[in-house]
């Protein structure tokens, strides 16, 4: 039911943008920033609780100090890769984000095998290709804010010239992996086979027709973050492991810390000189946070699938 509601919200946003009153750039940015603060950052702010629950589910010892050390270590490592090897770092981020998005949207399928993982990655890649490549003229200025973007202008221009070939390749990869996955897992998600394709088609239609920033806001904030938060709360509430009060306090605390960290990082890099600069640094912050967050969510979805198979 929640997915239908979110798709209706996306459809209404598209209808408003296309037929009633196009949303200007400043308003798009305000919606994007508000969504990131209220839902985008909070959906990753429960990582400590989720990691604790993962350890309990696997009957493993858990150390908060070790968790934070590993978390910050992964975050710092990926930040270093983005800094010193920006092209490789961005490609790695696309891979991480594609897997994370795909695993969230397809968590009802058993995707722990190699064909399952390819299915998940290809799903996420199709979505990212439509958001980023179809609207590449809007994405390109964000790269040009950074020195690395200027240094790799030839590669960025090559992507712009070949973007629809890349989108086509991603589409072929998706349909190939989907066919192989369901061929090998004929009993997997019997009630979901057609439904997930219909949902994906609606999502892609919305993303294709919305401006990049508004489309990203719809997918990342309205769709992905809401579904993730819903899954996280249900997971943490199993057997009343955590109260809603504890979950809310934890999410609020770490959301504030994350927002403060991104803000300080942005101040050091003159983030606040324009809305484009703010958006660019937010995307960079999300990229850095994706590396540790993705692993924790992956462990959570493994635990959920295992509990459902029992």
**pLDDT tens-place string over residues 89-126:** 888 888 999 999 999 999 888 888 899 999 999 999 99
Q: Could you give the number of structural domains in the chain? A: 1
33 within domain boundaries? yes
Q: Which residues of the chain have pLDDT under 70?
A: 145, 188-193, 261-277, 308-310
Q: Rounded to the nearest 5°, which phi and psi values hold at 166?
A: -65, -45
18 within domain boundaries? no
Q: Rounded to the nearest 5°, which phi and psi values hold at 185?
A: -130, 65
State residue 191's pLDDT score.
Answer: 63
The token pair that represents 251 in the structure block: 């999410």
288 within domain boundaries? yes
pLDDT tens digits for range 258-304 = 777 666 665 555 455 556 667 777 777 777 888 888 889 998 998 88
151 within domain boundaries? yes
CA angle 31, 33, 35 (to 5 degrees): 65
State residue 65's pLDDT score.
Answer: 87
State residue 190's pLDDT score.
Answer: 59
State residue 287's pLDDT score.
Answer: 79
Contact status, residue 48 vs residue 64, Cβ threshold 8 Å: yes
22 within domain boundaries? no
State residue 142's pLDDT score.
Answer: 77
State residue 59's pLDDT score.
Answer: 76
278 within domain boundaries? yes
State residue 37's pLDDT score.
Answer: 86
**Cα torsion through 122, 40, 143, 140, rounded to 10:** 70
147 within domain boundaries? yes
The count of residues in the chain is 310
State residue 268's pLDDT score.
Answer: 55
DSSP secondary structure code for residue 242 in this structure: S
State residue 266's pLDDT score.
Answer: 57
d(CA 207, CA 222): 12
State residue 208's pLDDT score.
Answer: 94
Q: Give the structural domain span for 278.
A: 2-12+28-54+62-309
């Amino acid at each position: 039911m929640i997915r239908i509601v979110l798709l209706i919200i996306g459809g209404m946003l598209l209808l408003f943008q296309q037929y009633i009153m196009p949303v200007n750039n400043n308003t798009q940015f305000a919606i994007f920033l508000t969504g990131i603060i209220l839902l985008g950052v909070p959906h990753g702010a429960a990582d400590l609780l989720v990691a604790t629950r993962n350890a309990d589910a696997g009957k493993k010892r858990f150390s908060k100090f070790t968790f934070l050390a590993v978390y910050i270590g992964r975050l710092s490592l990926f930040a270093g890769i983005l800094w010193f090897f920006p092209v490789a770092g961005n490609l790695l981020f696309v891979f991480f984000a594609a897997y994370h998005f795909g695993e969230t949207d397809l968590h009802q399928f058993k995707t722990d095998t190699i064909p399952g993982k390819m299915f998940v990655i290809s799903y996420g890649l199709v979505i990212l290709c439509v958001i980023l490549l179809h609207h590449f003229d809007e994405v390109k200025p964000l790269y040009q804010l950074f020195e690395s973007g200027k240094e790799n202008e030839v590669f960025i221009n090559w992507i712009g010239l070949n973007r629809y070939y890349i989108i086509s390749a991603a589409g072929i990869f998706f349909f190939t992996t989907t066919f192989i996955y369901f061929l090998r897992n004929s009993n997997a998600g019997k009630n979901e086979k057609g439904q997930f394709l219909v949902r994906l088609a609606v999502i892609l239609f919305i993303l294709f027709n919305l401006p990049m920033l508004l489309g990203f806001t719809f997918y990342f904030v309205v769709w992905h973050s809401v579904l993730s938060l819903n899954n996280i709360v249900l997971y943490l509430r199993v057997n009343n492991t955590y109260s809603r009060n504890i979950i809310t306090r934890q999410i609020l605390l770490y959301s504030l810390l994350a927002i403060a960290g991104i803000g300080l990082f942005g101040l050091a890099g003159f983030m606040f000189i324009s809305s484009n600069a703010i958006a660019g640094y937010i995307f960079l912050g999300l990229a850095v946070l994706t590396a540790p967050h993705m692993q924790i969510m992956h462990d959570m979805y493994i635990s959920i699938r295992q509990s459902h198979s029992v």
